[in-house]
Structure 1
Amino acid sequence: MTEHLDQPPHRPAGIITRAIAAVIDLGVVLTIIGVTYLGLALVRLLYSPQNFRFPEPAFLASATVTLTVSVVYLTGCWVTTGRTVGAVAMGLRVVTAKGRLLRLPRAAVRAVLCVLFAVGLLWAAVDPRRRSLQDIVLRTRVVYDWRKESSELIG
């Protein structure tokens, strides 16, 4: 893909693009949880078909699983490629202020902050450099990057 002369490469991503990516990622997490639930139901069915009932997880257990899957999903994606499924779809990558992939501790903290304080993303709408509160605190950025490889990251 060729760069336009009026658009610098790896410019900061805007709030709308980031929000769409987040919605896609929420769909991925809910799909993972749904498939896991159906797998658990299938195991119960195979184990005891005569007494089968769908599992009825408690609210606290469901919330804990959802939060945990979300944090693990985001952390794993950001550490390996800097991209979640939503980020790939929208051409985004999460990088450090120096343009490198996040290491595990920073990615994990960013994931926890993004999951527990998702409203922090809204700050990107008013920040001149399009940073969320999580980006400001952890010195990260979300940039447009359509490259498949992360081997030569932003300088």
Structure 2
Amino acid sequence: MSEAAAPSEETTIRDAGIVSRSIAAGIDFGVVIGLMGIGYLSMAIILFAVDFREFRFPEVMWIFTASGFFVTAVLYLFVCWAVTGRTVGYAFLGLRLANAAGDDVPVVRILPRAAFCVVFPFGLAWVVLSPKRKSLQDIVLRTRVVFAD
């Protein structure tokens, strides 16, 4: 009698490709825009509560919007990756951030990666050319995006 082949104890870690990573990035972009909208509406509600008779929606200069987006996006990515290794987009698609060995990324590399992803989002396009499905951010900071177990 032949024995059935036992499943391998070794699990393979699959790197995420451009499609899943792009969709996750789009979801995360929407989350950041939503967070900024919540911040703006919160400010408007506070101003309304302080003096409702003279209330006007606050006007925001473009530089505060651009810098606000940068700060919000970097903090969002940093907190999500530091706490769970996933953002909302990553969780939706079953992805997580990992180091080269597939383990959790050290916190000291998460903040630079978050900033790099926000400043240079087109680094993600390198995934298409990379045989190991790595973005420029992954190459520079020795990280990878994998499908979660």
The residue aligned with 1:61 is 64
TM-score if structure 1 supplies the norm length?
Answer: 0.87
In angstroms, what is the RMSD of aligned CA positions?
1.5
Q: Is 2:19 the counterpart of 1:16?
A: yes
Q: 1:13·1:144 contact (CA, 8 Å) conserved in 2?
A: yes
Q: 2:16·2:133 contact (CA, 8 Å) conserved in 1?
A: yes
The residue aligned with 1:74 is 77
Output the amino acid matched with 1:35. I
Output the amino acid matched with 2:106. R
| Mapping 1:1-150, distance limit 5 Å | 9-145=12-148, 147=149
Output the amino acid matched with 1:97. A
Output the amino acid matched with 2:60. P
In the TM superposition, what is the alpha-carbon distance from 1:79 to its structure 2 partner? 1.1
In the TM superposition, what is the alpha-carbon distance from 1:9 to its structure 2 partner? 3.4
Q: Deviations over 1:46-88 (max 9, x none)?
A: 1011110001111111111110010011011111111000000
Q: Deviations over 1:130-149 (max 9, x none)?
A: 0000000000000011x4xx
Output the amino acid matched with 2:115. V
In the TM superposition, what is the alpha-carbon distance from 1:104 to its structure 2 partner? 2.2
Output the amino acid matched with 2:88. V
Q: How many residues align?
A: 141
Q: 1: distance between equivalents of 2:52 and 2:145? A: 49
| Secondary structure of residue in 2 paired with 1:83 | coil
Output the amino acid matched with 1:55. P
Output the amino acid matched with 1:11. R
- Structure 1 moving runs of 4+ over 6 Å: none
TM-score if structure 2 supplies the norm length?
Answer: 0.90
In structure 2, list runs of 5 or more residues that go unmatched.
1-7
In structure 1, list runs of 5 or more residues that go unmatched.
148-155
Structure showing greater Rg: 2
Output the amino acid matched with 1:28. V
The residue aligned with 2:4 is none
